Amino acid sequence: MNSRRTTFFFLAISFSAVGCSAPKVEPRAPTVAVSAADMPAQESWNVTLMVSSDGKTKTIVSAHHAAEYRQGEKQEIRLDGGVSVQLINSDGAATLMTAGRGIVHDNQDIEAFDNVVIRSADNTVIRTEYINRSSQERMIRSDKYVTITSPTRTIRGYGFESDDAMKRYKIFHASGESFSK
């Protein structure tokens, strides 16, 4: 009877030891690769960028969050969490633009997306979902639906082009209303 107990005890310990061993794990490669190009070179929060030329401030950009991306010689700063841009003309008057997010390119061109509102010094207001502002030409453009409201008229349409001060603008496919006093 002792040998039966010893055999049973030996088998119980052997099965317990086999059942408790660590599982064999084989190394795996990650299923999703993340490249350095997808990661920002640096990030900042509650940021203000000033662009100047000949000692004069031309543009002031503020955002809740900014991430700088670099690819070769190219650089862009992606802004989100609410963006505010002041475009200062030669007279010192500012055109204010707000948007949900934006991009400042290395040539100082600015793109703005999501609920873009531009207000000039004379209270002309442009509303659209996207704009592209050329720093060299100092022009604002969009190919999206746009509404331009001034104290005397409202114009709607698809696609527009304007100078920074919003003094001269055109809508490419327009409809609108005009009020007479």
Query: Helix %, strand %, coil % for the chain, to 5?
Result: 10, 60, 30
Model confidence pLDDT, tens digit, residues 48-91: 988 888 888 888 999 999 999 988 888 999 999 999 999 888 77
Tell me how crowded residue 52 is: count the other CB atoms within 10 A of its CB: 11
Model confidence pLDDT, tens digit, residues 108-121: 899 999 999 999 88
Model confidence pLDDT, tens digit, residues 127-157: 999 999 998 888 999 999 999 888 888 888 9
- For residue 180, pLDDT beyond 50: no
Q: How far apart are CA 74 and CA 54, in angstroms?
A: 24
Helix (H, G, I), strand (E, B) or coil at 17: helix
Q: Are 150 and 123 in contact (CB under 8 A)?
A: yes
CA angle 23, 27, 30 (to 5 degrees): 130
Residue keyed to tokens 């107990």:
5
Confirm whether pTM is higher than 0.85. no
What is the chain's Cα-based Rg? Answer: 31
Q: Are 59 and 85 in contact (CB under 8 A)?
A: yes
Question: And the tokens for 77?
Answer: 């700063």
Comparing 11 with 170, the larger pLDDT belongs to: 170
- Give percent of the chain with pLDDT exceeding 70: 76
Helix (H, G, I), strand (E, B) or coil at 82: strand
- For residue 20, pLDDT beyond 60: no
